[in-house]
């Protein structure tokens, strides 16, 4: 007795609805057209201070993932080789490390991170994947390198013994969104300022001031997208941003 075939095609497993609106269909087709949209990618964008000792790929952020171990050195070398130099302010390396990192993030988001709105997008912000400098001074970089080499030797051994995948990686943590939504970044900033006023601990003050700088970043990015949207609306009488509206 013949049996019906259970084989299915990939189109039967996953295909777009026939009822998609023209706008959504266009965006979906554009999304899957990897080789046809060089104007809009979310590949890793590395940024560096340009120092000879810089590092933009901290291995330990990804050491929980066993399958990336063979590629760690090439990730680090290639990202650094491709990194775009960011002009940092005078006195940058005299700041605390916390302030350096927050300041660098702010500069990248304000001046270097691409901001584009695709034709028909209602939710924007698709280019954010960065590899940022660790902002070390030369002395800090030497110390970090020694610690890294010691740790990397032990981490590789642990991975070879099958002890990987036992921690967290970037993106696998849930921030306290509730607090941000309840207070807003302005409210968070005010609470950090209140903490500064109530302490004489210079290390804590430096850390809180770095958090204040970082809390400015969402507003900066939002304003850049608002400007891009306004620019796109001016170019398109219908109010639709063009394919490559940017700011």
pLDDT beyond 80 at 173: no
| 154 assigned to some structural domain | yes
* CA–CA dist 241, 41 (Å, integer): 18
Going by their DSSP bridges, the two strands 245-246 and 45-48 should be labelled as unpaired
- Of 50-59, 64-73, 189-198, where does mean pLDDT reach its minimum? 64-73
Three-class secondary structure of residue 92 per DSSP: helix
Evaluate whether residue 58 is within a structural domain.
yes
φ/ψ of 246, rounded to 5, equals: -150, 170
Helix axes 97-107, 202-215, angle to 10 degrees: 10
Say which residue the tokens 């013949």 belong to: 2
- Report if residue 48 sits inside a domain: yes
Nearest partner of 105 among 221, 247, 225, 191, judged by Cα: 221
Rg, the chain, Cα only: 23
pLDDT in tens, 13-53: 778 888 999 999 999 999 989 889 899 988 999 999 999 99
Residue-number span of the structural domain to which 135 is assigned: 20-32+40-173
Query: So what's the pLDDT on residue 63?
Result: 85
Q: Which residue has the higher pLDDT, 55 or 162?
A: 55
pLDDT digits (tens, 9 = 90+) for 181-203: 999 999 999 999 999 999 999 99
223 within some domain: no
Residue 45 sits at φ, ψ, to 5 deg, of -110, 105
Is residue 225 situated within a structural domain? no
190 assigned to some structural domain? no
- The answer to the question of residue 209 being in a domain is no
Q: What are phi and psi of 2, to 5 degrees?
A: -75, 145
**pTM for this entry:** 0.86
Q: What is the mean pLDDT of residues 205-225?
A: 97
Residue 113 within any structural domain of the chain: yes
How many domains does the chain contain in total? Answer: 1
């Amino acid at each position: 007795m013949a049996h019906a075939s259970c084989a299915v095609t990939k189109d039967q497993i996953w295909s777009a609805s026939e009822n998609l609106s023209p706008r959504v269909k266009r965006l979906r087709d554009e999304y899957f057209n990897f080789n046809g949209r060089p104007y809009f990618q979310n590949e890793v964008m590395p940024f560096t201070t340009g120092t000879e000792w810089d590092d933009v790929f901290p291995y330990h952020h990804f050491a929980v993932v066993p399958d990336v171990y063979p590629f760690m050195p090439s990730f680090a070398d290639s990202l650094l080789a491709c990194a775009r130099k960011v002009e940092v302010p005078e006195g940058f390396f005299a700041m605390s490390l916390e302030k350096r990192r927050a300041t660098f993030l702010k500069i990248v988001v304000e001046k270097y991170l691409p901001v584009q709105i695709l034709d028909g997008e209602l939710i924007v912000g698709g280019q954010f994947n960065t590899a940022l400098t660790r902002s070390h001074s030369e002395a800090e970089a030497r110390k970090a390198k020694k610690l890294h080499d010691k740790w990397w030797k032990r981490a590789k051994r642990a991975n070879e013994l099958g002890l990987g995948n036992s921690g967290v990686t970037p993106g696998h943590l849930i921030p306290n969104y509730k607090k941000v939504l309840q207070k807003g970044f302005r409210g968070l900033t005010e609470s950090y300022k209140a903490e500064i006023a109530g302490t004489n601990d210079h290390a804590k003050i430096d850390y809180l001031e770095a958090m204040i700088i970082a809390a400015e970043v969402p507003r900066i990015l939002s304003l850049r997208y608002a400007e891009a949207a306004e620019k796109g609306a001016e170019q398109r009488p219908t109010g639709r941003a063009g394919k490559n509206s940017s700011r």
